[in-house]
Amino acid sequence: DAGVTQSPTHLIKTRGQHVTLRCSPISGHKSVSWYQQVLGQGPQFIFQYYEKEERGRGNFPDRFSARQFPNYSSELNVNALLLGDSALYLCASSFDRGLAGYTFGSGTRLTVV
Amino acid sequence: RKEVEQDPGPFNVPEGATVAFNCTYSNSASQSFFWYRQDCRKEPKLLMSVYSSGNEDGRFTAQLNRASQYISLLIRDSKLSDSATYLCVVTGGGYNKLIFGAGTRLAVHP
């Protein structure tokens, strides 16, 4: 079985541009969450989706948005990129509401120049 | 105050050593607790869940003290392959988002 898959693996963007990151959860998993990890820190929660509805949002500006599709895959969109958005973006999926933990994808490393 | 606080690292230990990581959390309503391991430039991977009764998985032992809001991880007989960053994680919110500590880096040397 495939794990959580994310695309692209690496991305370089210019300030002010827009980016879309994609995630496919483990088959059967209905919960998808997005996290941002900057160097030297633990991952920070951005969004959580369960059964295609937004269930939680972290302390991130409105430039960040996401959605979950009927097949439970998800997209994270970031508009008007800033240098500080450079980070590893992680997607995690869970079968239930996360009580048993989440499985992470290998992430998308975004560099904003 | 951070929601999850961990020992600052790094921990540099020889092979065979026993090392302990400590963690405190601020939200008494947290329901689930985990230790994740993260290798350099890789994704976090679930090492083990943590229960109030304590739980052991081979050389790894985790403990949870809900009254003190304290979590620990003990690694016995350290191996070179244990070198990684260890992340203390609690859940929060109605849909159990993960709240991570900053992580403690472990370096095991020959």
Contacts of A79 (CB under 8 A, 6+ apart): A18, A63, A65
pLDDT over 80 (residue A81): yes
Q: What's the confidence (pLDDT) of residue B40?
A: 92
Q: What's the confidence (pLDDT) of residue B52?
A: 87
Q: What's the gap in Å between the CA of B99 and the closest CA on chain A?
A: 7
What is the CB-side half-sphere exposure of residue A29 using CA atoms within 13 A?
A: 31
Q: What's the gap in Å between the CA of B43 and the closest CA on chain A?
A: 5
Interchain contact, B44 vs A40, CB within 8 Å: no
Q: What's the confidence (pLDDT) of residue B22?
A: 95
Buried b (16+ CB within 10 A) or exposed e, B30-52: bebbbbbbbeeeebbebbbbbee
Chain A positions in Cβ-Cβ contact with residue B95 (cut-off 8 Å): 31, 48, 50, 55-56, 97-98
Chain segment B32-51, per-residue pLDDT in tens: 899 999 999 899 999 999 98
Higher pLDDT, B25 or A100: B25
- What is the pLDDT averaged over residues B15-37? 94
Chain A contact probe: residue of B2, B41, B43 with most A CBs at under 10 A = B43
Chain B positions in Cβ-Cβ contact with residue A98 (cut-off 8 Å): 32, 91, 95-98
- What is the pLDDT averaged over residues B5-24? 94
Q: What's the confidence (pLDDT) of residue A3?
A: 93
Interchain contact, B31 vs A99, CB within 8 Å: yes
Max CA-CA distance within chain A?
38
Closest chain B residue to the Cα of A106, Cα to Cα: B43
Q: Which band of pLDDT confidence, cut at 50, 70 and 90, is reported for residue A10?
A: very high
Chain segment B58-110, per-residue pLDDT in tens: 999 999 999 999 999 999 999 999 999 999 999 887 677 899 999 999 999 99
Q: What's the confidence (pLDDT) of residue B92?
A: 81
* B106 touches A: beta carbon within 8 Å: no
Q: What's the confidence (pLDDT) of residue B88?
A: 97
Chain A contact probe: residue of B49, B88, B95, B99 with most A CBs at under 10 A = B95
* B13 touches A: beta carbon within 8 Å: no
Q: Name the residue among A45, A97, A105 with its Cβ closest to that of B99.
A: A45
Q: What's the confidence (pLDDT) of residue B9?
A: 86
Q: Which band of pLDDT confidence, cut at 50, 70 and 90, is reported for residue B29?
A: confident
Q: Chain A to chain B, count of Cβ pairs less than 8 Å apart?
A: 66
Q: What's the confidence (pLDDT) of residue B2?
A: 86
